[in-house]
């Protein structure tokens, strides 16, 4: 079963849920993978002692413009919808703006004068980790290079590597928000857990994420983190929209304290372990639904 843990905004407890759910499944003896797709700031690894066993550099296409062969016809500039070509024909200046380039290759197709050649540039890396003394899980981390425009190629590569592991349960920690990188992460999964908090901001971002998932026709449920703060509007919304509430994690100082020390909370607090056991049961029931 493939599960994404996502949220409409950062800081709602998405990584807390994904790492603790990962351990819940592992404790049940299921071979489980956790893929951190939050490629701008991956941080799942800090909760585990794991050994890196593989690293893959992710590259993306980049055009190389040879100004000495350029006839300043302007075709590449016209074709580039990302404004990634600096073009000043009056001064005979042409240059690639690397940070804006999406590597689509349109400029290369447009150039009839062999002034554009192809190259590859590194945009990030994907690392795989295993646990030294246990064989029931693996971690995969997507990390984009600083200054790279989009994390999507790195996320794509991490997902591909995760799928090859063929784990019984695959958990994907999605990037926050509902942009392309979120869509890329939730696209291959069977079920999405949306983590939110019962505040006006939490509700507003939850609504956006729900809208996006409905457009993608994805099955999803909601986990409310820090239950007890804010107000009841999130609960009313879930009710009105017939959205499944699959778990509630209370606002509790002892949870925050464990988490801030880099501890897996289910291993420290039995009340939280029970909550995650219930969430795991519901996910397994969902997975068995069509069998
Ligand atoms: S590869 Fe695409 S985005 Fe990059 S400069 Fe060429 S047309 Fe523009
Ligand atoms: S299409 Fe080729 S020749 Fe024309 S402006 Fe671009 S690089 Fe120069």
Choose the residue to mutate in 78, 100, 102 for probing ligand 1, maximizing ligand atoms within 8 Å of C-beta: 102
Q: Is residue 173 domain-shared with residue 284, that is, in the same domain?
A: yes
Q: Are 210 and 140 contained in the same domain?
A: yes
Report field, pTM of the whole predicted structure over 0.85: yes
Q: Could you give the 3-state DSSP secondary structure of residue 221?
A: strand
Asked whether residue 37 falls in the same domain as residue 178, the answer is: yes
In a domain? residue 283: yes
Ligand 2 pocket check for 113: Cβ under 6 Å: yes
User: What pLDDT, on the 0 to 100 scale, is given for residue 49?
Assistant: 86
Residue (of 208, 197, 171, 169) closest to 186 by Cα position: 171
Q: Is residue 119 part of a domain?
A: no
Number of structural domains in the chain: 2
Q: Is the residue at 191 inside a domain?
A: yes
* Predicted confidence (pLDDT) per residue in 103-140, tens digit: 899 999 999 999 999 999 999 999 999 987 666 889 99
Q: Quick check: is 202 in a domain?
A: yes
Same domain, 189 and 95: no
Are residues 186 and 235 both part of a single domain? Answer: yes
| Cβ atoms of 28 and 1 closer than 8 Å | no
Q: Are 54 and 138 part of one and the same domain?
A: yes
Cα of 157 vs centre of ligand 1, distance in Å, is 21
- 25-37 residue pLDDT tens: 999 999 999 999 9
Domain CATH code at residue 248: 3.40.50.300
**Residue from 75, 89, 97, 114 whose mutation best tests the ligand 2 pocket (most atoms within 8 A of CB):** 75
Do the domain assignments include residue 138?
yes
Place of tokens 């190629």: 153
- 11 with 48, same domain: the answer is yes
Q: Note the pLDDT of residue 150.
A: 84
Pocket of ligand 1 contains residue 84 by CB under 6 Å? yes
- Looking at the fold, whether 53 and 71 belong to one and the same domain comes out as no
- Over residues 31-55, the pLDDT tens digits come to 999 999 999 989 899 899 888 999 9
Q: Which pLDDT score is estimated for 134?
A: 65
Cα 12 to ligand 2 centre (Å):
48
Q: What angle do CA 23, 212, 243 make, to 5 degrees?
A: 65
Q: Are 124 and 59 in contact (CB under 8 A)?
A: no
Percent of the chain with pLDDT over 90: 75
- Say which CATH number the domain at 108 has: 3.30.70.20
pLDDT < 70 positions in the chain = 133-135, 290-291
138 and 175 belong to one structural domain: yes
Q: What is the reported pLDDT for 250?
A: 93
Q: What is the dihedral of CA 266, 267, 269, 274, to 10 degrees?
A: 40
Give the pLDDT score at 133.
66
| Residue 34 sits in the same domain as residue 169 | yes
Write down the pLDDT at residue 98.
Answer: 87
Q: By the 8 A CB rule, do 205 and 196 touch? A: yes
pLDDT of residue 290: 59
Q: Are 79 and 148 part of one and the same domain?
A: no
Tell whether 229 is covered by a domain.
yes
Q: Which two tokens stand for residue 88?
A: 């000043």
Residue 206 is assigned to a structural domain of this protein:
yes
- The pLDDT score that the predictor gives to residue 99 is 82
Structural domain of residue 92, as residue ranges?
67-114
Ligand 1 contact via 65 beta carbon (within 6 Å): no
β 137-144/116-130 pair status: antiparallel
pLDDT given at position 39:
93
Residue 120 lies in a domain: no
One domain for residues 157 and 72? no
């Amino acid at each position: 079963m493939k599960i994404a843990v996502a949220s409409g905004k950062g800081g709602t407890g998405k990584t807390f849920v994904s790492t603790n759910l990962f351990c819940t499944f592992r404790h049940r003896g299921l071979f489980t993978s956790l893929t951190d797709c939050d490629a701008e700031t991956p941080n799942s690894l800090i909760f585990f002692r794991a050994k890196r066993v593989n690293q893959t550099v992710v590259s993306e296409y980049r055009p190389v413009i040879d100004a000495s062969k350029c006839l300043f016809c302007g075709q590449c500039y016209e074709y580039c919808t990302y404004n990634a070509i600096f073009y000043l024909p009056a001064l005979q200046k042409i240059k690639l703006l690397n940070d804006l380039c999406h590597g689509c290759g349109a400029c290369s197709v447009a150039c009839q004068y062999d002034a554009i050649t192809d190259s590859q540039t590194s945009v990030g890396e994907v690392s795989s980790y295993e646990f030294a003394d246990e064989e029931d899980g693996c971690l995969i981390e997507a990390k984009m290079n600083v200054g790279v425009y989009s994390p999507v190629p790195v996320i794509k590569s991490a997902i591909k590597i995760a799928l090859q592991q063929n784990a019984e349960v695959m958990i994907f920690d999605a990037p926050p928000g509902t942009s392309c990188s979120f869509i890329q992460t939730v696209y291959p999964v069977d079920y999405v857990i949306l983590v939110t908090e019962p505040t006006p901001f939490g509700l507003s971002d939850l609504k956006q994420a729900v809208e996006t998932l409905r457009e993608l026709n994805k099955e999803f449920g909601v986990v409310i983190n820090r239950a007890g703060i804010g107000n009841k509007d999130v609960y009313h919304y879930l009710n009105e929209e017939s959205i499944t509430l699959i778990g509630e994690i209370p606002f509790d100082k002892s949870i925050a304290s464990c988490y801030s020390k880099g501890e897996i909370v289910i291993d420290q607090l039995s009340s939280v372990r029970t909550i995650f056991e219930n969430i795991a049961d519901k996910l397994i029931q969902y997975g068995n639904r069509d069998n």
